[in-house]
A and B are shown apart, each in its own frame.
Chain A
């Protein structure tokens, strides 16, 4: 349609140039067609008709071309439309004639007669034409150029005439078409009838073929009925061209229809449908019982199927049914149901006949199957009987074998005796245990062989009981062996009949001696275990038993209460996951692993946690216990809570540290204070020195004396402060030592020089006795300080006499001893000697200056920095000897003159050797 419409439009456009050509040919002839000059030459007419004429003229003049064009276009459209419709009708008619049998959608489509279109366009054309002619008539144009108008009119008339002709043609074509259509329809009817006939023939052929197929199958008889029913369903579905074919079977009391098979053609699917109950469908069942074939053309109309639930019919979209009932011995036994889907269907007679044949086939199948079943069951029963007999025979043989084996190998004594208690047979175990050989024993009575004085009565009683048919069970008898030993036996005895119905006494005995010993042992073990388990249960420390993969096997109540879990929560869980805190897991794992290898662990510290997540430090011991039976190790872990001890220890440590740090802070404070004190002292001493030396003018004697006192006081203060600083630093622990190499002799000379002025003042003698070439490697300044202190003390406390300095080296020590002839020290005062701010009461106390820190500092330097010690010997009134000792090794002293040169590497740091002083009776202070 679209295509044709497009074609029409294209045709219109092609027409336009032809129309234009037509118009131009008309225009070419009158030169003054426009009529301007004409109007100018006749002003009267122009003025009378002025407004209208002007308009009309101008309109016509200006749009004449477009106007004419519009008319021709409209005209052309009409003509083309007419031509097209005519062409279509003709085409169709020709087609029908050429192919009369084809009944297609396009051929039956009726062609719309274009009256409406033609009418509208025609009206439009007439209006346009009228308007145009009206204008022409009412203007001068009409007169001015009659020729033009004539041409134009002639053209229009040609158009109109041609149009009329076409219109007439069209009508004729239409009539022709109607006629053809009628003929055509008759033709089609005939064709349909033929086709139906053909189809029916085909159907019959198909049905026959399928019946033949099924019959051959059944005759073959190899397939089981189910497969055959399937085949029937499939074949009849194909033959009748229905969607669903199902085979149903009544149960024994006609209450239900069981579906044997349902075939769905479109899916090629064999399935089974739900059973149908007679109570639900009484009418349908009645129909089934009465007729051979039930033909239902429309399921919704037929009374038999009206009662089917709508879901069943609608769900499968079933429109028609053809049911054939299966009869056997004048009884309905089943039904084959053909269900056509998608609307009603008229079942033909041949189809109904086919269904009848199919049901016959089904009946035959069922009969054949029943026969087969009976035959099968008979042969099966026979086979079963045969195998039963075979099995029975085999089992009897087996039993005999087994029995023989039992008797020969059983670890119990078995004796067969006749009614007179004579032994008929005995097994190897009885031989072994009693010591009698079988050959010897046979024919002897039981009492003869095994009887003793003690068991005589018991045996007699036993024999009597057995003879009366009692069965003896578990009687304990002490019997005699061949070598005279006695054995405890547990005997069971009874009288049985043998194959020939002779009475035989069977006596079975078991040796109890080993078992008794074992029992005693077990008892002991049980007691021991009881004791240990009591210990474990009541031990006030947690005990765990762990298996080799780390799972808890058992715990004691104390462990449960410590961990905060129940026994069920702990047993079987990994102890590491459960109670060991994350921090200790590695350690615990390693310990357990090593314990597993047989190494006992004692007192490793583990951080354990309880159920609430609280952590405690435990001291744990682990040891492996290897079970002899399963060869699987277990670990016994014993844990002791030491968190409290730990906490106490830690608190002690922190307390000590706090105290120590407080002490250090104090010392540091003193040190920095002392430094601040020294700064002003520097200028005091400096300026006093300057003035005393007369650098700023001469002084008189009195001034000099007074300034001298001030100068000495300042110096004393300075030394006091220096000592305090040194002590503080040593106590604070940051006094460093600076090791250098030097000779001892010059150092001693310096000391002598430092005290020279006092020595001179007091008229004392001072002597140095130092072996030449003693070389040291230590802190020179500190050593100088120490020696000077001791020497200046000696000088101070010696009113008259001598001060001797003596230096010597032995293997261990460098000793510098300073002896004087001074006032000496009391035994009581010796104790105070090395205490800070203690000065010995003496007549010289007031006269001599002193800080009371000198010896304290000396000892501290020696002990803590240089690793040496100081000893003192004194006798009041006679003098004292102070000996400074430095370890050779530590100070690295080498005596060049001596043979033994110690060339050990110089110690980089010297550890202070704090040791307690001990005082002995001779007044010696020893470290």
Chain B
């Protein structure tokens, strides 16, 4: 069974993505802060990570860098989710080692497809 780690601080958004992924039969773990996310990702590596960029402690870019800096986290697919307003981040995220990039608001119909595409890259 494929395990997903969701790093997201907004409860509603977390519930939404969790629901969508559970419908697609993924096993879910989640973290609500950036540091907790890094810890979880590096202790028991998930199959892929969904990462929000706006986080309360360290931002998504920093989380990404820290995971990628560790040998364990080097090859985990990481899908960043961010709003259209932050479009300037896109290049920076991809440069920092982000596997894929999904814009908010997410489309429930398309999101699974986008995720699977990213995992299989």
Query: Residues of A at under 8 Å CB distance from B?
Result: 671, 674-675, 678-683, 685-687, 689-690, 693, 695-696, 718, 722, 725, 736, 738, 781
1/0 per residue, CB under 8 A from A, across B1-37: the answer is: 0000000001011011101100100000000000000
Q: Is the CB of A683 within 8 A of B16?
A: yes
Residues of A within 8 A of B15 (CB): 683
Of the candidates B105, B107, B108, which one forms a contact with A718 in the assembled complex, judged by CB atoms under 8 Å apart? B105
Q: Is the CB of A678 within 8 A of B13?
A: no
Q: Is the CB of A690 within 8 A of B20?
A: yes
Q: Is the CB of B107 within 8 A of A675?
A: no
Q: Quick one: closest B residue to A737, CB to CB? A: B88
Residues of B within 8 A of A679 (CB): 10, 13, 54, 83
Residues of B within 8 A of A681 (CB): 105
> Shortest CB–CB separation between residue A733 and chain B, in angstroms?
13
Jot down 12 A-B pairs with beta carbons below 8 A, ordered by A: A671-B85, A675-B86, A682-B106, A683-B10, A686-B20, A686-B108, A687-B12, A689-B107, A690-B16, A690-B20, A722-B85, A725-B84
Q: Is the CB of A738 within 8 A of B91?
A: yes
Shortest Cβ-Cβ A-B pairs, 8 listed: A683-B12, A689-B108, A686-B16, A685-B105, A682-B105, A682-B104, A690-B108, A675-B85
> What is the CA–CA distance of A674 and B83 in the complex, to the nearest angstrom?
11
Residues of B within 8 A of A738 (CB): 90-91
Residues of A within 8 A of B13 (CB): 679, 682-683, 686
Q: Is the CB of A687 within 8 A of B16?
A: yes
Residues of A within 8 A of B120 (CB): none
1/0 per residue, CB under 8 A from A, across B79-102: the answer is: 000011111101100000000000
> What is the CA–CA distance of A679 and B88 in the complex, to the nearest angstrom?
18
Answer yes or no: B109 CB below 8 A from chain A CBs: yes
Q: Quick one: closest B residue to A736, CB to CB? A: B88
Q: Quick one: closest B residue to A696, CB to CB? A: B19
Of the candidates B83, B104, B108, which one forms a contact with A693 in the assembled complex, judged by CB atoms under 8 Å apart? B108
Q: Is the CB of A686 within 8 A of B23?
A: no
> What is the CA–CA distance of A427 and B106 in the complex, to the nearest angstrom?
125
> Shortest CB–CB separation between residue A383 and chain B, in angstroms?
117
> Shortest CB–CB separation between residue A707 and chain B, in angstroms?
13
Residues of B within 8 A of A682 (CB): 10, 13, 16, 83, 104-106
Q: Is the CB of B104 within 8 A of A689?
A: no
> Shortest CB–CB separation between residue B51 and chain A, in angstroms?
15
Interface size on B, residues (CB 8 A): 24
> What is the CA–CA distance of A682 and B15 in the complex, to the nearest angstrom?
12
Number of A-B contacts defined by CB within 8 Å: 61
Q: In the complex, which of the residues A674, A681, A682, A696 has the most CB atoms of chain B within 10 Å of its own CB atom? A: A682
Q: In the complex, which of the residues B86, B106, B108 has the most CB atoms of chain A within 10 Å of its own CB atom? A: B108
> What is the CA–CA distance of A738 and B87 in the complex, to the nearest angstrom?
10
Residues of A within 8 A of B54 (CB): 679
Residues of A within 8 A of B107 (CB): 689
1/0 per residue, CB under 8 A from A, across B60-95: the answer is: 000000000000000000000001111110110000
Check A678/B91 contact, CB under 8 A, given A671-B85, A686-B13, A690-B19: no
Residues of B within 8 A of A690 (CB): 16, 19-20, 108
> What is the CA–CA distance of A685 and B104 in the complex, to the nearest angstrom?
10
> Shortest CB–CB separation between residue B8 and chain A, in angstroms?
10
Q: Quick one: closest B residue to A735, CB to CB? A: B88
Q: Is the CB of A693 within 8 A of B91?
A: no
> What is the CA–CA distance of A170 and B103 in the complex, to the nearest angstrom?
144
Of the candidates A674, A680, A695, which one forms a contact with B12 in the assembled complex, judged by CB atoms under 8 Å apart? A680
Q: Is the CB of A686 within 8 A of B105?
A: yes
Residues of A within 8 A of B91 (CB): 738
Residues of B within 8 A of A683 (CB): 10, 12-13, 15-16
Residues of B within 8 A of A685 (CB): 105
Q: Quick one: closest A residue to B54, CB to CB? A: A679
Q: Is the CB of B106 within 8 A of A695?
A: no
Check A695/B108 contact, CB under 8 A, given A671-B85, A690-B16, A722-B84: yes
Q: Quick one: closest A residue to B91, CB to CB? A: A738
Residues of B within 8 A of A689 (CB): 107-109
Residues of A within 8 A of B85 (CB): 671, 674-675, 678, 722, 725
Residues of A within 8 A of B90 (CB): 738
> Shortest CB–CB separation between residue A201 and chain B, in angstroms?
127
Residues of B within 8 A of A675 (CB): 83, 85-86
> Shortest CB–CB separation between residue B79 and chain A, in angstroms?
15
> What is the CA–CA distance of A678 and B82 in the complex, to the nearest angstrom?
11
Residues of B within 8 A of A718 (CB): 105
> What is the CA–CA distance of A690 and B106 in the complex, to the nearest angstrom?
10
Check A678/B16 contact, CB under 8 A, given A671-B85, A683-B10, A689-B109: no
Residues of A within 8 A of B12 (CB): 680, 683, 687
Q: Quick one: closest A residue to B84, CB to CB? A: A722
For the complex with contacts A678-B84, A693-B109, 16 further pairs of A-B residues with Cβ separation under 8 Å are: A675-B85, A675-B86, A679-B10, A679-B13, A682-B13, A683-B13, A683-B15, A683-B16, A686-B17, A687-B16, A689-B107, A689-B109, A690-B20, A690-B108, A695-B23, A722-B84
Residues of A within 8 A of B87 (CB): 781
Residues of B within 8 A of A671 (CB): 85
> What is the CA–CA distance of A682 and B107 in the complex, to the nearest angstrom?
10
> What is the CA–CA distance of A725 and B83 in the complex, to the nearest angstrom?
12
> What is the CA–CA distance of A681 and B84 in the complex, to the nearest angstrom?
13
> What is the CA–CA distance of A19 and B84 in the complex, to the nearest angstrom?
134
Residues of A within 8 A of B10 (CB): 679, 682-683
Residues of B within 8 A of A693 (CB): 108-109
Residues of A within 8 A of B16 (CB): 682-683, 686-687, 690
Residues of A within 8 A of B88 (CB): 736
> Shortest CB–CB separation between residue A289 and chain B, in angstroms?
128
> What is the CA–CA distance of A675 and B52 in the complex, to the nearest angstrom?
14
> Shortest CB–CB separation between residue A442 and chain B, in angstroms?
116
Residues of A within 8 A of B20 (CB): 686, 690, 695
> Shortest CB–CB separation between residue A712 and chain B, in angstroms?
13
> What is the CA–CA distance of A671 and B83 in the complex, to the nearest angstrom?
12
> Shortest CB–CB separation between residue B106 and chain A, in angstroms?
6
> What is the CA–CA distance of A678 and B106 in the complex, to the nearest angstrom?
12
> What is the CA–CA distance of A736 and B91 in the complex, to the nearest angstrom?
12
Q: Quick one: closest A residue to B83, CB to CB? A: A678
Q: Quick one: closest A residue to B10, CB to CB? A: A679
Q: Quick one: closest B residue to A691, CB to CB? A: B108
> Shortest CB–CB separation between residue A779 and chain B, in angstroms?
10
> What is the CA–CA distance of A346 and B109 in the complex, to the nearest angstrom?
152
Q: In the complex, which of the residues A674, A687, A738 has the most CB atoms of chain B within 10 Å of its own CB atom? A: A687
Residues of A within 8 A of B83 (CB): 675, 678-679, 682
> Shortest CB–CB separation between residue B93 and chain A, in angstroms?
13
